[in-house]
Amino acid sequence: MYKQIKLQEHHIIAGIDSLSVFQALFDSGDYENRSFFILVDENTEKLCLNKLKQYIPAGKKTPVISIPAGEQNKTMETAEKIWQFLTLHHADRGSVLINLGGGVTTDIGGFAASAYKRGISFINIPTSLMGMVDAAIGGKTGVNFNGLKNIVGVFSQPDSIYIFPGFLETLPEQELKSGYAEIVKYALINENNLWEVMKNKRINDFDTLEDLIAFSVLIKAEIVEQDPEEVGIRKTLNFGHTFGHALESFWHKNERAISHGAAIAAGMICESYLSSKINNLTDEALKDIQTTINKNYSWPSLRKEDIPELIHIMLNDKKNQNAKVNCSLLEEPGQCRYDQLIPEELLKEALNHFINEQTNNQ
């Protein structure tokens, strides 16, 4: 079975039969005479590529571009390698790039496709939970630059997205937790009953993630449909990300292992604290959020002496306005307000709160 979400800018196929729908693509009138390329990283090349190839017609040439795995490789240099490969294999403006991988692969693959010959088509097939519920959806593409996350990129929508939950079987629990952070975010920013279901649960309390994936995909697709270039309501999707991106960049710079989702989870604690100070989020709601997140995540050490560097990183966040840090904050679970400019003293206070919380929970 599969579910099809077809909005104005989104054609998303999700479910165990999604790759069968992908297979039919090659015989469709829009694609039958076009050249295809597949972008993988070294992990999806080993674990997922052969599965995908079962759904590509025999005799159809699909040259494979393999890039190193990991956020540290989401760079302009890697994008150049993709362009070099496409050029060497005579990709033209009718070519299609299939991005098979997690958020790093779909981000950089979408960016490379969007810039190559002023734009070729691309298709996202996410293989991580983070990719399935967030990164592959919405048309944000880009690379990291000069130690700053996603600072260079464009909005460009994939032709379609195929979500096959079977790929999750290849992932360790840490990678599942990374994507789970985005599901927690959807539960907190969108008015629905999902937060009541997830509150105080661990990721392994769920027998299946398929319904959570479908629900999350629908929330994100509908928000992006309303605001494709993030000038309004789409900014609510940034809840947890201003602090989360800064923490992720800081920990990576200092060679401390952290997944994107774990960093966003830390960011949600910081920004929930700010929500309590600015929007009067209740103490009970703040406690519930912190308890739920702390049950699922742990983080590298952070010291009060690190705060000035973290604030410097946040001051370079692409969402800022008039040199002030811009956050999306909760009024209550299910209600999120965007374009909230945060004084530097409150940034420090929120980071101190996070450090104290982690010290108390050790």
Q: Which domains does the chain have, with CATH numbers?
A: 2-170 (3.40.50.1970), 173-361 (1.20.1090.10)
Query: Measured between alpha carbons, how far is 166 from 174 in angstroms, rounded to an integer?
Result: 17
- CA of 249: how far to CAs of 204, 257, 293, in Å? 28, 11, 20
Query: Measured between alpha carbons, how far is 191 from 336 in angstroms, rounded to an integer?
Result: 9
Q: What is the pLDDT of residue 170?
A: 86
174, 329, 161, 41: CA torsion to nearest 10: -40
Q: What is the pLDDT of residue 149?
A: 85
**DSSP β-bridge partners for residue 327:** 340
Q: What is the pLDDT of residue 16?
A: 81
User: pTM to 2 decimals?
Assistant: 0.89
Neighbouring C-beta atoms of residue 294, cutoff 10 Å: 16
Q: What is the pLDDT of residue 5?
A: 61
Instruction: Assign residue 96 a region (left: φ > 0; alpha: ψ between -120 and 50; beta: otherwise).
Output: beta
Q: What is the pLDDT of residue 186?
A: 96
The pair phi, psi for residue 139, each rounded to 5°, is 85, 10
For residues 49 and 38, the answer to whether their CB atoms sit within 8 Å is yes
**Pick from 35, 185, 179: which is nearest to 106 by CA?**
179
What are 246-284's pLDDT values in tens digits?
999 999 888 888 999 999 999 999 999 999 999 999 999
The encoded tokens of residue 141 equal 């593409």
For residues 286 and 193, the answer to whether their CB atoms sit within 8 Å is no
Strand 148-155 versus strand 160-163 pairing type: unpaired
**Cα angle for residues 172, 188, 274 (degrees, 5° grid):** 105
Q: Which residue stretches of the chain have pLDDT < 70? A: 1-10, 362
Q: What is the pLDDT of residue 329?
A: 98
Write down the residue that tokens 């759904």 correspond to: 55
Cα diameter, the chain: 62
**Cα angle for residues 154, 259, 191 (degrees, 5° grid):** 70
